[in-house]
Structure 1
Amino acid sequence: MKKSQIDLRLYLVTEESIALESLTNIISESVSGGVSVVQLREKNQSSLSFYKKAAALKQVLNELSTPLIINDRVDIALAVGADGIHIGQDDLPLSVIKQMVPDEMIIGVSVSNLEEALEAERNGADYLGVGSIFPTKTKQDATPMAIRDLEEICRSVSIPAVAIGGINADNIALLTEKGLAGAAVVSAIMEAKNPKMASSSLLDIIKDFT
């Protein structure tokens, strides 16, 4: 899949505590409801566990024609042939990662202010993960960003920006018409009783983003 073809509108970030069988079921349902890209986020697993989960998800997502993004771990992304890698401010520098991965691999960078966003664009990021937008239990030490700062980032960069952090059905409408390419969600889908319905409901609002 070419970088320009990746649809970032509804970006699902996985929750580490969920077992693989349940995870693949949730992902399959959520993709059928409109999830357009999946990021596998594992912070506390061994390299082997991370690899096995990534390889299994890559197979599932290939069948669903949906890209897989790996969080942080370039080695895992390369090992399973993932479509992309997403890095934070404390990971390997973007310039180094670009030398390690194939040109067709999409690279996203987490940013929390305009300076970081502009630097990521300058260094060749393909998209930005901007946040945290709202308080989130996934990353409890994150300071929520003012919506006006989110808008400024979207106005100031020419690459796609995806909002992340505490986004759910109750607050996602606050992000419409801000210039975003999409929204990244975790618990709003991962913990939903019906992941397909939850995804579809979120996507209906995301269609009004731009």
Structure 2
Amino acid sequence: MIDYSLYLVTGRELLPPGKEYFESLEQSLQGGVSVVQIREKKTDTTKFLDIALKSKAICDRYGIPLIINDRVDIALAVEAAGVHVGQSDMPIAMARKLLPENAIIGVSCNNVQEIEQAKQDGADYVGIGAVWSTATKDLDKPVIGVRGVGKMLERLDGTSIKAVAIGGIKSRNLLRTLHGSVSPTNHSLDGVAVVSEIVASTHPRETAAKLRELIYAFRRGSSILKGLSVHSEYSVETVIDGVVDIFEAIRKHNPLVHQITNNVVVAQSANATIALGASPIMATTAQEMEDLGRVSGSLLVNIGTLVPTSYDGMMEAGTFANAQKKPIVFDPVGIGASEFRKNAVSQLLNTWQASVIKGNAAELATLAGSNEVQAKGVDSTGSGFKDPVSFVRNLSCRERCVVVLSGETDYISDGSSVAVLNNGHALLGRITGSGCIAGSCIASYCAAAAILAGSMEDKGKLVVGDIFLAAIGMILALTISAEVAAMREDVKGPGTFFPALIDELSSLSSPTIRERARVHIL
């Protein structure tokens, strides 16, 4: 049985100055590479055979299977474990006739049609990609993105065919690749194929070991979403208890919340963050995102005023937040207003993994590709979803994160449970940026939830559901504060409502949350 976990594809042209190919190959095996594919697209047969023979001898010393790209004759000559073919190479059926009975045959696939063909042809594994853009291979087919892999994996349900992701995979995006490349039926990757990250390294042993450890860490449950629910059973009582714990943790720990948000509501969002007990930092410059990723407790990305400089910052901030396992709250404000926004959101969500996606009915419908609800600018039109519970649950499963559907009634799902919240007041909808403020509050709660999850990990305890509970807690904090603010004698309308809302957020207490929360768990 081949271990496809860390699949090295060679490329001698990528070797750094002074690094010899066979030395690099052996060191990569010492670092944890589990299978090797020799790719020599521009090498004559004699040279290819020599490279393959010597590579096979090295792989044999470490018990690592060798696969040959394209050339069935070379694979036969060196007694390789198998071959990998592209869509324009020798058909699998013909290769199967020529190769020994136990030979492994893999095929490159870029879409579901090619997956179906691979199933019919009897492939042993498929290489799905390109997942990311790559400079190591001229691409004649589109980059499918992390979120496109799941649809292809679903077609492998019920088969013994293994799946390896390939194309631009590096240590900085490996966890994103593993976490996001899962089908709605929970079919996941069997491995990742890496080229330049290892071959171009001056220290391939250490590079391979780092990649291997990331893969093992992911399989042990250490994903990029610290504190994400793992589909536990919830009751109203356990939810309220968890919400209160997180609420109190915000006041205790005063987490730093990095926010790239709508320019219209920067001040309001910062004030709401402070009122809850967290500390805001509003920064958009790409060059400082690595530093902020280390020191902040969570990240909010809101595309309300999407400009090139902030977009670059969003791309970098999310990547570094994932690397540090910091929660990311994503608010696709007005995604349905333009193709530019739709494309930007697709790029962002294929680059990094969100912990929470929050939006109104029109925004989430657009993200899901549904025409049930239409957008008017940043607002929704129409009566809403016929089955909002199923909608949020399905979208959560697809996007692999908690989903918050905001509205008169709020629906929150972790892909299994759905919380239905009925607090709030109409005045919330009559002030600028109430939805954006909600994103800031969720990010504050997520930062505190991650702190709690970390403290429990340090004690060897299993922590589940924190991000789900954080999203619920934030909605309750904001909507309960809105109810209390609206009852004040000094509130005469939207103009006097917002200052009162900030006051009530600041003075909100755990007993008030317990007393006023109207929550149902489905």
Q: If the length of structure 2 is used for normalisation, what is the TM-score?
A: 0.38
The residue correspondences of 1:92-131 to structure 2 (distance < 5 A) are: 92-131=90-129
Alignment root-mean-square deviation, CA: 1.6
Corresponding residue for residue 143 of structure 2: 144
How much has 1:84 moved relative to structure 2?
A: 1.0
Corresponding residue for residue 175 of structure 2: 173
Matches of 1:59 and 1:187, distance apart in 2: 23
The residue correspondences of 1:156-195 to structure 2 (distance < 5 A) are: 156-157=155-156, 158=159, 159-177=161-179, 178=182, 179-195=188-204
C-alpha contact (below 8 Å) 1:16/1:43 kept by paired residues: no
How much has 1:155 moved relative to structure 2?
A: 2.0
How much has 1:101 moved relative to structure 2?
A: 0.5
Matches of 1:62 and 1:200, distance apart in 2: 19
SS of the equivalent of 1:104 reads coil
Structure 2 unaligned blocks of 5 or more: 183-187, 222-522
C-alpha contact (below 8 Å) 1:189/1:195 kept by paired residues: yes
Matches of 2:199 and 2:85, distance apart in 1: 21
How much has 1:109 moved relative to structure 2?
A: 0.4
How much has 1:33 moved relative to structure 2?
A: 1.0
Identity of aligned residues (%): 39
Aligned length: 205
Q: If the length of structure 1 is used for normalisation, what is the TM-score?
A: 0.93
Structure 1 unaligned blocks of 5 or more: none
The structure that is helix-richer by fraction is 2
Matches of 2:55 and 2:151, distance apart in 1: 35
1:41-83 CA distances to partner (integer Å, 9 max, x unpaired)?
Answer: 0000101000010011111111111111000000000011011
The residue correspondences of 1:43-122 to structure 2 (distance < 5 A) are: 43-122=41-120
How much has 1:147 moved relative to structure 2?
A: 2.0
Matches of 1:15 and 1:56, distance apart in 2: 15
Matches of 1:164 and 1:130, distance apart in 2: 6
Give, as a single letter, the amino acid of the residue that structure 1 aligns with 2:155.
S
C-alpha contact (below 8 Å) 1:114/1:149 kept by paired residues: no
How much has 1:153 moved relative to structure 2?
A: 1.3
Give, as a single letter, the amino acid of the residue that structure 1 aligns with 2:197.
A
SS of the equivalent of 1:162 reads strand
Corresponding residue for residue 202 of structure 1: 211
Matches of 1:72 and 1:135, distance apart in 2: 22
Structure possessing the higher relative contact order (Cα contacts under 8 Å, 6 or more residues apart): 1
Specify the structure having the higher radius of gyration (Cα).
2
